[in-house]
Amino acid sequence: MGCLNSAQAIAPSDPRVHEREMEFLHDVRPVLASLPPKVAEVLKSELSSLGASTDLNKTNEAYLSQHKESPSHVLAAVRVQRMLGGDQVKCEKHLLAIPAMKGTTLEEACEALDTLKSWRSGEAEAFKKTAGKRWPEASRFC
């Protein structure tokens, strides 16, 4: 938790920090009630600095809205959205737009493709076609 607080203090809008923070909150919240009272009290106190009192879906939606022009931020927010039980089709739609986004790097496109594949998405092939047009030299999209 200390590392997460430190990372948030250094780079609060970094996509990887956002993703790790949301994963941590998603995993810790359900078990708080089963912990010894003192431990739960300390954790709740620390979690408040991470925004634990807010709705994770709303926090993630706000993050996505704030960073909708950044491929890496969109990718992180969409993965969080899916982890929180978001609609896969809606999440896939966001990922399919990444190759066309201004400033998307080949690495970000590969991460998006890997995410689609990890979800066993039927949209992976459509993504490869779109990305292959933007990066024809990349064998990853052939």
User: What is the predicted pLDDT for the residue at 85?
Assistant: 96
SS (H, E, C) the chain: CHHHHHHHHHCCCCHHHHHHHHHHHHHHHHHHHHCCHHHHHHHHHHHHHHCCCCCHHHHHHHHHHHCCCCHHHHHHHHHHHHHCCCCHHHHHHHHHCHHHCCCCCHHHHHHHHHHHHHCCCCCHHHHHHHHHHHCCCCHHHC
Structure tokens at 51: 């925004």
Query: What does the pLDDT average to over 91-105?
Result: 97
Q: Which of the four pLDDT bands, split at 50, 70 and 90, describes residue 14?
A: very high
Q: Which of the four pLDDT bands, split at 50, 70 and 90, describes residue 133?
A: very high
* Overall residue count recorded for the chain in this entry: 142
Q: CB neighbours of 61 closer than 8 A, spacing ≥ 6? A: 81
Task: Return the domain boundaries, the chain.
Answer: 1-53, 56-142
The least confident of 18-32, 64-78, 109-123 is 18-32
pTM above 0.75, yes or no: yes
